């Protein structure tokens, strides 16, 4: 039997029930330890009365089933003696909030992959205009919209309430108190008090920690829905989603085998339909009988950035020290080169963008990332279907970029430079129109195409992009130009855009 051992700062059985943090920091935690098993039983017996459903979740979890039920409450909740989140509870020194560092004791590779993913860095929204909307435009002093909205997906900076001397405050149960604006929070990019980024329970759920939950599209839909990221809606409309929702969850003919524990391999454990996890994270049976590795880095197989105002194909560049950065272009840097790149650093509870220089240690081109995705596609589709789909998808993104996004961005930048609008972006109707063109309508079109969802590609996507561009953005730009005495400058700039062949229909209409 394999024994998981990890540094916990817990002493032997005599100390476990002493009501104080133990003095040593080197004692290992062994799932076969009688003292720790007894502590688990003690936790369970009490919480059966206080939180019965919570205990039932654990009892029916992979943790309870592993090691003959020896992975329990204390294995995860034990705290180091110097942990600022630690407190004494029923004689044991524990902490409430778990981070990827805790999970990494047993799931090291998964935590490492997660650490480098866009999921872990989802909290960077707090350095973006999205957060200005949540904290300022749509909130009062409390920032309630950000706390109950944005941060519940992207993650908060979890803060501990302290007294004047900086010591953590304790509640009536002598537990460390957290700022209610930042916790509870299971946002995927949560910034934890131990400095780690991410929340494993965002996908796996507390206490049950089921892989089967994480692989179901509804799980992803907690965050990936709505006008700025309509992945769930697009998936439901697609042939992939139709195949999934018309199948059965169980194993067997036309079954998804979705509740299977452990590995879940396309072509081996199921074959009926892909879920989000299938394409972005899952294992696939290859033609030679081997199985591709799964990944907890959801960006590994993504070749386009569909979030930015103008989409770019992305190469993943890894630097000495471990930083990973998506760099656009057809000519990525080579291993061994020194390159400048942008890095976000947490200053207090705010992210700051800084430029740093590092040595390139690995490069994964956008073509390589696309090839990894196509391995999944080819489990169910022929080469021509896969190739032609990507041709259609690429053409849609290029159409959005070249016909609408680039001209609109150029005109909006000119409006800024000529003093028609000023920051912040949301002070003007023109700013709102530009924002929604790329952040809502443009993303919907691009995501819809990526998921093969025709309604989201067109009617909720490029149709609304066009309506905004021709009948909101350009008229408002002309109105502001006339009001500021800049009509000649902007008439010329707009005319240059509309003389392009793709806009000829609008110019010929006399507008």
Residue 511's pLDDT is 60
Q: What is the largest CA-CA distance in the chain?
A: 88
DSSP 1: -
Residue 295's pLDDT is 96
Per-residue pLDDT of the chain (511 residues; tens, 9 = 90+): 333 322 222 222 222 223 333 332 323 356 778 888 889 999 999 999 999 999 999 999 999 998 776 789 999 999 988 888 999 999 999 999 999 999 999 999 999 999 989 999 999 888 888 989 999 999 999 999 999 999 999 999 999 999 999 899 999 989 999 999 999 999 999 999 999 999 999 999 999 999 999 999 999 999 999 999 999 999 999 999 999 999 999 999 999 999 998 899 999 999 999 999 999 999 999 989 999 999 999 999 999 999 999 999 999 999 999 999 999 988 999 999 999 999 988 888 788 889 999 999 999 999 999 999 999 999 999 999 999 999 999 999 999 999 999 999 999 999 999 999 988 889 999 999 999 999 999 999 999 999 999 999 999 999 999 999 999 999 999 999 999 999 999 999 999 999 999 999 997 765 6
pTM for this entry: 0.91
* Measured distance CA(111)–CA(103) in Å, rounded: 7
As given in the structure block, the two tokens for residue 486 are 């800049």
* Measured distance CA(24)–CA(81) in Å, rounded: 8
Residue 16's pLDDT is 26
Residue 29's pLDDT is 54
Residue 15's pLDDT is 27
> Phi first, then psi: what are they for 7, rounded to 5°?
-70, 125
Cβ atoms of 375 and 368 within 8 Å: the answer is no
Q: How far is CA 365 from CA 44, 333, 352, in A?
A: 49, 10, 27
Q: Determine the distance from the C-alpha atom of residue 342 to the mean position of all C-alpha atoms in its chain, rounded to a whole number.
A: 19
Q: Determine the distance from the C-alpha atom of residue 334 to the mean position of all C-alpha atoms in its chain, rounded to a whole number.
A: 28
In sequence order, the 6+-apart residues with CB closer than 8 A to the CB of 128 are: none
Cβ atoms of 76 and 95 within 8 Å: the answer is no
* Measured distance CA(359)–CA(317) in Å, rounded: 10
Residue 176 DSSP SS3: strand
Residue 510's pLDDT is 58
Q: Which alpha helices (DSSP H) does 306-351 contain, by range? A: none
């Amino acid at each position: 039997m394999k024994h998981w051992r990890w540094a916990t700062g817990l002493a032997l059985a005599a100390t476990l029930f002493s009501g104080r943090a133990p003095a040593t920091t080197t004692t290992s935690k062994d799932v076969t330890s009688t003292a720790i098993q007894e502590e688990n039983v003690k936790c369970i017996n009490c919480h059966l009365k206080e939180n019965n459903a919570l205990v039932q979740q654990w009892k029916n979890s992979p943790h309870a089933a592993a090691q003959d039920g020896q992975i329990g409450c204390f294995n995860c909740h034990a705290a180091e003696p110097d942990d600022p989140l630690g407190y004494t509870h029923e004689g044991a020194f524990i902490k409430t909030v778990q981070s990827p560092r805790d999970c990494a004791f047993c799931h090291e590779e998964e935590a490492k992959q997660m650490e480098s993913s866009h999921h872990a860095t989802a909290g960077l929204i707090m350095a973006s205009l999205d957060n200005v909307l949540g904290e300022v435009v749509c909130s009062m002093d409390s920032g309630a919209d950000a706390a109950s909205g944005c941060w519940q997906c992207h993650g908060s900076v979890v803060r501990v309430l302290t007294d004047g001397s900086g010591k953590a405050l304790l509640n009536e149960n002598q537990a460390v108190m957290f700022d209610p604006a930042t916790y509870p929070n299971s946002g995927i990019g949560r910034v934890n008090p131990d400095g780690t980024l991410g929340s494993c329970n965002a996908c796996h759920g507390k206490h049950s920690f089921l892989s089967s939950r994480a692989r179901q599209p509804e799980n992803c839909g907690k965050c990936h829905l709505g006008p700025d990221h309509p992945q769930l809606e697009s998936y439901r409309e697609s042939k992939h989603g139709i195949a999934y929702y018309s199948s059965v969850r169980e194993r067997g003919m036309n079954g998804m085998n979705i509740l299977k524990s452990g590995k879940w391999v396309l072509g081996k454990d199921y074959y009926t339909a892909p879920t989000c996890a299938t394409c972005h994270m899952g294992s696939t049976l290859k033609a030679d009988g081997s199985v591709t590795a799964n990944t907890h880095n959801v960006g590994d197989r993504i070749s386009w950035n569909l979030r930015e105002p103008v989409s770019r194909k992305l190469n993943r560049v890894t630097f000495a020290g471990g930083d990973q950065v998506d760099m656009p272009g057809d000519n990525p840097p080579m291993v061994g080169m020194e390159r400048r790149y942008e890095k976000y650093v947490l200053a207090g509870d705010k992210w700051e963008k800084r430029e740093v220089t590092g040595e390139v240690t690995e490069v994964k081109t956008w073509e390589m990332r696309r090839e990894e995705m196509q391995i999944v596609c080819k489990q169910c589709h022929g080469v021509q279907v896969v190739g032609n789909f990507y041709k259609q998808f690429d053409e849609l993104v290029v159409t959005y970029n070249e016909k609408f996004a680039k001209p609109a961005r150029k005109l909006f930048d000119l409006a800024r430079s000529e003093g028609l609008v000023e920051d912040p972006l949301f002070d003007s109707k023109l700013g709102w129109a530009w924002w929604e063109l790329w952040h809502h309508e443009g993303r919907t079109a691009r995501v819809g195409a990526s998921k093969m969802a025709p309604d989201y590609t067109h009617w909720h996507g490029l149709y609304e992009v066009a309506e905004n561009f021709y009948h909101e953005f350009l008229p408002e730009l002309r109105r502001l130009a006339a009001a500021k005495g800049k009509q000649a400058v902007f008439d010329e700039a707009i005319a240059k855009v509309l003389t392009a062949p793709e806009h000829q229909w609008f110019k010929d209409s006399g507008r």
